[in-house]
């Protein structure tokens, strides 16, 4: 089950066969392979865990396309998750794959457990009915908790406790690193408050229902549609959108990613501006979590 049990002897065998490696190099490999393996379910959690753990643990974020909320782990991913010493979950229903993947419950860390009543129920739900069970829905709570920097701190604290539980000898180092991370998150929180202050009571439209915690923390008056940045939503969606604008006269639309030119042109006709606010849920092309947030802040300053 734990492939790392076999990895160390295999590496030692290869090193012995090569014959040239020094004993210090072998020792280094020995130390690194005995580090606890931590797997995170999205990029922010991976970033927080890596920042806190430093060299204490091997932190991994599996490669996944698109939004990690829609991740469907394959057999290799499942093997990786099962071999982990800790699997860091966002919680709040984010990891739908937990419904069908078998994992030891002892390695799971739900970082949203400590949030209590700060979790926000989803505004919309799709109810469907078929068969003898009657109506049912797949409703849940909103899950992009890390967009509220104060909730991100709660998650980081939970991660620190779990990592310190795995490597108690480094607890003080982890706590120092957590304090540094929290200070940066607090600074980000202030910057976001300042950036959103100008538009805090203006009607806004969100391209996807993923900004609930951002809106709640920074006092945004937004309503969500289900539009993809690179995909024309279609005539029906545009009609619904115009109706929405009549009751919610927004002049700004916040997107997860840069919208297509056609969409931008149509929005311009409606005298609307667009701003991209990346959720940072997946590994950024450049930089880290704070770099993505810095870009978001710069985008907010443009309109």
Query: What is the rounded end-to-end Cα distance, in angstroms, of the chain?
Result: 53
Of residues 129 and 246, the one with the C-beta less far from another protein = 129
Question: Which pair of tokens denotes residue 208?
Answer: 């996807």
131 binds another protein (CB under 8 A): yes
Judged by CB under 8 A, the stretch of 54-62, 131-139, 170-178, 213-221 that binds another protein is 131-139
Q: How far is the CB of 258 from another protein (least distance, A)?
A: 25
Q: How far is the CB of 138 from another protein (least distance, A)?
A: 6
104 binds another protein (CB under 8 A): yes
Q: How far is the CB of 247 from another protein (least distance, A)?
A: 16
Strands (E), 111-231: 127-129, 135-137, 203-206, 221-224
Enter the DSSP assignment of 287.
S
Q: Map the footprint of another protein across residues 134-193, applying CB under 8 A.
A: 135-136, 138
Residue from the set 72, 197, 242, 248 that interacts with another protein by CB under 8 A: 72
Q: How far is the CB of 140 from another protein (least distance, A)?
A: 10
1 exposed, middle or buried (CB, 10 Å; 0-12, 13-18, 19+)? exposed
Characterize 210-239 residue by residue with b for buried, 16 or more Cβ atoms within 10 angstroms of its Cβ, and e for exposed.
Answer: bbbbbbebbebebbbeebebeeebeeeeee
Question: Which pair of tokens denotes residue 11?
Answer: 């590496």
Question: Which pair of tokens denotes residue 151?
Answer: 């909730």
Residue 124 near residue 173 (C-beta atoms within 8 A):
no
Of residues 8 and 98, the one with the C-beta less far from another protein = 98
Q: How far is the CB of 232 from another protein (least distance, A)?
A: 17
Judged by CB under 8 A, the stretch of 48-56, 133-141, 235-243, 261-269 that binds another protein is 133-141
116 binds another protein (CB under 8 A): no
Question: Which pair of tokens denotes residue 71?
Answer: 């991740």
Q: How far is the CB of 112 from another protein (least distance, A)?
A: 12
Compute CA distances 29 → 10, 11, 68, 163, whole Å.
11, 8, 31, 21
Contact residues toward another protein (CB under 8 A) are 1, 72, 74-75, 78-79, 82, 96-97, 99-106, 113, 124-133, 135-136, 138
């Amino acid at each position: 089950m734990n492939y790392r049990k076999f990895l160390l002897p295999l590496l030692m065998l290869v090193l012995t066969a090569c014959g040239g490696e020094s004993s210090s190099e072998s020792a280094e490999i020995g130390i690194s392979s005995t580090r606890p393996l931590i797997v995170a379910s999205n990029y922010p959690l991976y970033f927080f865990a890596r920042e806190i753990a430093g060299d204490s643990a091997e932190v991994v974020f599996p490669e996944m396309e698109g939004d990690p909320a829609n991740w469907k782990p394959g057999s290799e991913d499942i093997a990786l998750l099962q071999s982990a010493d800790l699997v860091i979950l966002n919680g709040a229903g984010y990891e739908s794959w937990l419904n069908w993947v078998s994992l030891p419950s002892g390695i799971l860390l739900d970082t949203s457990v400590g949030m209590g009543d700060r979790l926000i129920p989803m505004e919309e739900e799709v109810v469907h009915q078929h068969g003898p069970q009657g109506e049912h829905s797949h409703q849940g709570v909103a899950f992009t908790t890390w967009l509220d920097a104060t909730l991100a701190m709660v998650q980081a604290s939970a991660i620190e406790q779990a990592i310190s539980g795995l490597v108690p000898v480094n607890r003080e180092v982890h706590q120092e690193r957590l304090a540094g991370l929290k200070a940066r998150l607090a600074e980000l929180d202030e910057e976001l408050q300042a950036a959103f202050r100008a538009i805090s009571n203006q009607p806004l439209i969100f391209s996807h229902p993923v900004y609930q915690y951002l809106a709640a923390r920074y006092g945004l008056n937004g309503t969500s549609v289900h539009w993809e940045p690179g995909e024309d939503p279609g005539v029906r969606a545009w009609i619904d959108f115009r109706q929405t604008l009549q009751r919610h006269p927004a002049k700004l639309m916040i997107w997860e990613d840069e919208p297509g030119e056609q969409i931008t042109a149509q929005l311009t006709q409606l005298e609307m501006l667009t701003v991209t606010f990346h959720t940072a849920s997946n590994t950024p092309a450049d930089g880290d979590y704070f770099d993505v947030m810095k870009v978001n802040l710069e985008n907010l300053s443009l309109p």
